[in-house]
Structure 1
């Protein structure tokens, strides 16, 4: 922690000084090779699968197809590439109790990979996401391109569950028609999902075979990440399946969802938005577990919704729209805190360097979250968007379908802003102080603090 604070002080000093001084495809195997497990029992990887947005005419068997939710981010500009692979093998089936009910059940699913092309840009860590299927399709819930690519991670999405795979099969039979994670209908309650997820990690570590999901990259640390529903599935894996199997992940991040109760060998990071904190009863931090709660943030906030809208407009014809009771989508950036959490989690797994703790959100006497005079939650990790507010960002909403998860964003009017920040300098200085404190506490990376400061300088807040 001392080293983190020392390094952060140097970076923050440079950040502030600089800102103020500046003014403001491979073919499918032949039939005789179609056994879906490598000769040594490892899962078989095939790919990269031909076809890219908006279609690759050189591959007639999958012409005009591309990966589901292929990113709209300009990966090439950041030295990244997106590729998709088939993953096949034989998986064991487990009930949520951890009881193994079948062995060696054949499956075929897919991996979507976004990674640096140059090994020199790779930080050695793979964020392996159990894709969320709450909406009825695979969702890149934790793909945060700016932070992930800036830090040099590889990100891999794993299609482990029946709902997501069934949707893929219907969306593009040419591309996904052969996928099956049910043992041809024998296991429809995702009994295979735990072992499939583990085998994906095994495939990412493997240096053998012709098809390598990471290309020339060599994974040093493989982290399992999952959000909400996926965090729940990973909790079952960690608590009940993992103790009887061989570990394949170095660390785990459980985001806006449940986390394990078992103390295992691998470190666990648990990050919750304001939406998700509903009781003052919490598991205490220890040498294998950290829990961070982030004031003002939502289970599913603005950042992810804004990124996914053009993707879903393209792939579904239109992104879902919601009629919520309050203006939806908190803009407090939970993804900034996640970037810091990943940084600490990797150091924890590699070197045993324990992450900093964080203050919990506070509760009022009536059992609800305590709030200040502006309606903002008290306690927790407080980024400048909450500590120096220009809007009410919280984790509260209601209405149809998923509205309860979106939180709210209600901008302050000019009279309130003028009252809070009578000059631009007053506002910018307050933002700088809040984020420097967050960086020194280990809850925010300097690069995100720098961007917040640039945004504050450009905001015009405090000007007549």
Structure 2
């Protein structure tokens, strides 16, 4: 998981708000305008062994993952067209405003590697630049997804223009400065999805299932789209994943899957699961945890000149792998759309009578999806922290001392057996994929 700004707090504030059914969905009226796709745009990261020649530009935040070894390619495109503008309450405030943005695609090079599902991510701009918060190379490439990152918001596009005027100087999602609060973003995102469906961004791949995903602030934006804009337009996406952020309150035909870390759950008042809505809460998980920080650091050093350092009140970055849970959620959402089978439910996090989160004697949250990193712990991983900047989003990681480990696990064999048993339980519950359980077992055996 990977994220980060003050506007992201908006997503946190509403992440746990209860859902309620609204009036029946009004008739859909408008098809998204067709966008023009140009690309792939030339350019590769300096030193890329796959590049025929080194251009003076390359895609911002290009992934360092070994795509070729996994049968994947990364391509970047310009997307141009005219977009309508919408207020956050669903009022149309503009019609047919010209725009140009960029779209990043990471996909199987061969149709034989493609699982048929495209995940279209609303790029997160909380840190002041485009962040591919939900790109997890290991789980997505293993499953054969196509991942598409859309630059829909002004903050991200403005940063791109300054980062490389040569590559991105022509981008504009504000109608020449007339719409600076992302009124066009909803239509731009939908048009990008339509372009994926039409095949203009994914080469020879044939997309069977088109899913929209967004994390934190991007989830909040997608919530506005689903609640207020989607009832008035023709649907593009068949299902929606709202990760570590808010989820819609409207009940619509397109299924909604919300996955929250412990950080994001701040009240025991929750919406109920339905045949169109599912909510999972992950004990010990952080809004922005360890795996994302490790992945981003070399990219930030390459593209931004350095990675930020944080001084938090407690050791930061929970090591509970939220991406293992989202990998399972994507698979369930795909099946939900294709077969009509709702995902399994999950116990919510528990709260005390005074409204605080219930914890065990070790300090670990009770309830929720309990990955083996929590149910068979070597450290206290939780979703809470405080201090400067974004510390409140990082959770914390505090390893046990040797005496505690010896008390909990008299032998290594017993520890490994407990990890395997916990992960088998999570597999059977539908909250963990077998490949991630195998990785956990290997890590436990090597500890």
- The answer to whether TM tops 0.5 is yes
Shift, 1:41, TM fit: 5.1
Shift, 1:58, TM fit: 7.7
Contact 1:93 1:100 in 2 (8 A): yes
Contact 1:50 1:59 in 2 (8 A): no
1:426 maps to what in 2?
414
Contact 1:360 1:379 in 2 (8 A): yes
Q: What TM-score, normalized to structure 2?
A: 0.91
The residue correspondences of 1:64-463 to structure 2 (distance < 5 A) are 64-207=56-199, 212-459=200-447
1:9 maps to what in 2?
none
Q: How many residues end up aligned between the 2 structures?
A: 414
Contact 1:228 1:258 in 2 (8 A): yes
Contact 2:286 2:317 in 1 (8 A): yes
Contact 2:33 2:191 in 1 (8 A): no
Q: What is the distance in 1 between the residues matched to 2:90 and 2:113? A: 39
- Deviation string for 1:109-142 (max 9, x for gaps)? 0000000001011000011000000000000100
Structure 1: which 5+ runs fail to align?
A: 1-39, 460-464
Larger radius of gyration between Structure 1 and Structure 2 = 1
CA RMSD of aligned residues (A): 1.3
Contact 1:55 1:64 in 2 (8 A): no
Q: What is the distance in 2 between the residues matched to 1:94 and 1:238? A: 12
Q: What is the distance in 1 between the residues matched to 2:209 and 2:46? A: 33
Q: What is the distance in 2 between the residues matched to 1:458 and 1:322? A: 30
Q: What is the distance in 2 between the residues matched to 1:342 and 1:354? A: 12
Q: What is the distance in 2 between the residues matched to 1:42 and 1:196? A: 10
Q: What is the distance in 1 between the residues matched to 2:359 and 2:124? A: 31
Contact 1:142 1:227 in 2 (8 A): yes
363-372 vs 164-173, greater mean Cα deviation: 363-372
Contact 1:126 1:154 in 2 (8 A): yes
Contact 2:346 2:369 in 1 (8 A): yes
Q: What is the distance in 2 between the residues matched to 1:41 and 1:422? A: 64
Q: What is the distance in 1 between the residues matched to 2:47 and 2:384? A: 41
Which of structures 1 and 2 has the larger relative contact order (alpha carbons within 8 angstroms, sep 6+)? 2
Q: What TM-score, normalized to structure 1?
A: 0.88
